[in-house]
Amino acid sequence: MDAMTGNASWIDEPTVQPRTAGWRWVAGAVVVVAAVTALVLFVLGFWNPWRLVVLRQHFANPWLGLTVVGALSYLTLWLLLPIRSEAREPRRLAARVTVVVVAVTGLLGWGLFGQHFTYETTEMATSADGERTVVHVTHGGMRERELHVWEGTGLAAREAGSLGQPCGGVRAEFADRDVIIINQGFGDWEFHLEPETGQPRHVFGPRCPDGPVPATMGP
């Protein structure tokens, strides 16, 4: 009440934002770590200069990466930066809209183009020392078939190279660490590998009855 005029006067007190609950901070921290980890893995999987099998199998699809990282980012914002007033917090709202657009874009791209990043594998033979493996691979939108050679085991396994596209049914076994015997109905053929890297020295010929031919020893 104003003492001179007798009129009431109102003073707007500053709005105090409620504190974010403790469980939100804990859950948010976990999701932040998951989002950053996913981002790093999908970037490495798309780049993959080491040709690591685990990255190729699970993290090579950039559309899936956008979907996962976008969804985790949205969950992070929901947990750590809740919106209590859209009018007072336009930046938080804009951030949520942005990550939703990223996630939806990834989801659409995954549906339209995800098949081009398929990488289905079946192990066919392993060397006696367990360090080299012949693998039947189906990949790409055309479901192309190839035989690959993996070097190493577990998370350290990498693609040493491709033996090419087989015809029909195929069997494979290791004669020794550097020699693979392959039969696809035209007799036993020897495919030699580089002793140090496991990269194939031979690949399938251009026609099914053709034997192995020298490989181009590029990277």
Distances (CA, A) of 129 to 38, 51, 132, 176, 189: 33, 21, 8, 9, 22
Percentage of the chain beyond pLDDT 70 is: 89
User: What is the pLDDT at residue 165?
Assistant: 93
Q: What is the dihedral of CA 32, 36, 81, 28, to 10 degrees?
A: -10
pLDDT above 70 (res 12): no
Two tokens, residue 104: 């939806």
Contact (CB, 8 A) for 30 and 23: no
Contact 179, 193 (CB under 8 A): yes
Higher pLDDT, residue 113 or 168: 113
Q: What is the pLDDT of residue 86?
A: 78
What are the tens digits of pLDDT across the range 60-101? 999 999 999 999 999 999 999 998 887 888 999 999 999 999
Domain boundaries, the chain: 22-114, 118-214
CB 61, CB 117: distance < 8 Å: yes
B/e letters for 66-96, b = 16+ CB within 10 Å, e = fewer, are bbbbbbbbbbbbbbbeeeeeeeeeeebeebb
Render pLDDT for 19-47 as a digit per residue (tens, 0 to 9): 667 888 999 999 999 999 999 999 999 99
